[in-house]
């Protein structure tokens, strides 16, 4: 699986959009970009994933650049409950594929 690079930490004011970047310059054509988050003392929670096109669901939006070498997770209106570690993962979805978690970005949402 391709490696990813994320900033170690970010701050965001409550109510504002949180934009979390991820670089995955060695991604290959059959690898998806996944985002998970881990709120303190809980298991990781799936947020969203995509291959080429931008994706949106009830939690977030995922913007993938045209060359697919980077992506941005957008939480449109961050709340205090969005404070967590956010993991960007690139995953090949063939047989026996696996999620490999990096160090992620610690997002702190403040009043």
Partner 1 sequence: DTAVSQTPKYLVTQMGNDKSIKCEQNLGHDTMYWYKQDSKKFLKIMFSYNNKELIINETVPNRFSPKSPDKAHLNLHINSLELGDSAVYFCASSQGEGNSPLHFGNGTRLTVT
Q: Locate 64 and state its tokens.
A: 């993938």
Torsion angle of the four alpha carbons 71, 106, 78, 53, in this order, in degrees rounded to the nearest 10: 10
> How far apart (Å, rounded) are the C-alpha atoms in residues 104 and 9?
8
13 vs 99, beta carbon nearer partner 1:
99
Q: How far is the CB of 61 from partner 1 (least distance, A)?
A: 16
Query: Binding of partner 1 at residue 79 (CB under 8 A)?
Result: no
* List 9, 45, 54, 65, residue binding partner 1 (CB under 8 A): 45
Residues whose CB is less than 8 angstroms from the CB of residue 56 and which lie 6 or more positions away in sequence, other chains included? 48, 62
By the rule CB under 8 A, 69 interacts with partner 1 = no
Minimum CB separation of residue 57 from partner 1 in Å reads: 11
* DSSP three-state, residue 50: strand
Q: Is residue 28 near partner 1 by the rule CB under 8 A?
A: no
Q: Which residues bind partner 1 (CB under 8 A)?
A: 32, 34, 36, 38, 41-46, 49, 85, 87, 91, 93-101, 103
């Amino acid at each position: 699986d391709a490696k990813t690079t994320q900033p170690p930490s970010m701050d965001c004011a409550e109510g504002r959009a949180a934009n979390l970047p991820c670089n995955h310059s060695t991604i290959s054509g059959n690898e998806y970009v996944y985002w998970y988050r881990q709120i303190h003392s809980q298991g990781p929670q799936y947020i969203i994933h995509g291959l080429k096109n931008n994706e949106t669901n009830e939690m977030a939006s995922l913007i993938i650049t045209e060359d697919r070498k980077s992506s941005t997770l957008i939480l449109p209106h961050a709340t205090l409950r969005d404070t967590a570690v956010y993991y960007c993962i690139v995953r090949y979805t063939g047989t026996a594929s696996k999620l490999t978690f990096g160090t992620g970005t610690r997002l702190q949402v403040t009043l």
